[in-house]
Structure 1
């Protein structure tokens, strides 16, 4: 990842975090802070250690860096946005709360658009995307939709978009 991708990732992810309407001011502030903190957690070993959502990155020599997704999962776990729930029958399930889902969606959608596409994120609208950029969708995002770029740019505010 380079510095431009990093800046775009942060801008889009934080902007998408602002799109959640039904949050208290305190919760919104926390979400914005946590999106930024999570991204910084992922790149803490340097921008060159992040390249792909699902793939490891080889560093100097035999050193490998975990995939961005693994680092995000670690962040969610360390900050208790993801946890284990044990049921009476002894089964254990990994659970992520609503806040963790919002945080994860913002971070991943931004990564997929700014750094490297992967499986993508649903749940945001064209309006959410336009709001991040004061009404316009920048070419670096729109161009990723290829032949569907005109449809993206003409879509209504409430239409869903797969980022």
Structure 2
């Protein structure tokens, strides 16, 4: 990852966090802080330690750093946004609360647009995307949509978008 990708990741992820309207001011502030903290956690060892969401960074054939996705999962776990829950039958499952889902969606959507596309994130609208950038959609995002770029730019505010 380079500095330009890092800045785009942060800008988009924090902007998307602002799109959640039904939060108290305190909860919104916490989400904005946690999005930034999570991104900083992922890159704390340098931008060169991040390549894509799913692949670990390898040097000379050996593991150098875990993937960005694994580091985000670690952040969610260590900050208790993801946790284990036991069912009545005794089975244990990994769950994430609503706040953890919002945090994860913002961080991943920003990463997929700014750094390297992966499976993507649903749940945001074209209007949310435009709000991040004061009414427009920058080329570095629109270009990710390839032949569908025109449809993205012409879409209505409430149209869902897969980031």
TM-score (norm 2): 0.97
* Residue equivalent to 2:74: 74
Counterpart CA distance in 2 for 1:55 and 1:31 is 26
TM-score (norm 1): 0.97
The answer to whether the aligner puts 1:95 opposite 2:95 as a matched pair is yes
* Residue equivalent to 1:27: 27
Note the residue ranges of structure 2 that are not aligned, 5 or more in a row: none
> 3-state DSSP class of the match of 1:94?
strand
> 3-state DSSP class of the match of 2:94?
strand
* Residue equivalent to 2:13: 13
Counterpart CA distance in 2 for 1:10 and 1:60 is 30
The answer to whether the aligner puts 1:42 opposite 2:42 as a matched pair is yes
Note the residue ranges of structure 1 that are not aligned, 5 or more in a row: none
User: Which deviates more, 48-57 or 87-96?
Assistant: 87-96
Is the CA contact 1:49–1:59 (under 8 Å) kept in the aligned structure 2? no
> 3-state DSSP class of the match of 2:83?
strand
What do the CA deviations read for 1:16-40 (whole angstroms, capped 9, x no partner)?
A: 0000000000000000000000000
> 3-state DSSP class of the match of 1:58?
strand
* Residue equivalent to 1:152: 152
* Residue equivalent to 2:118: 118
Is the CA contact 2:56–2:63 (under 8 Å) kept in the aligned structure 1? no
Is the CA contact 1:42–1:72 (under 8 Å) kept in the aligned structure 2? yes
RMSD, matched Cα? 1.0
* Residue equivalent to 2:107: 107
* Residue equivalent to 2:138: 138
Counterpart CA distance in 2 for 1:140 and 1:66 is 26
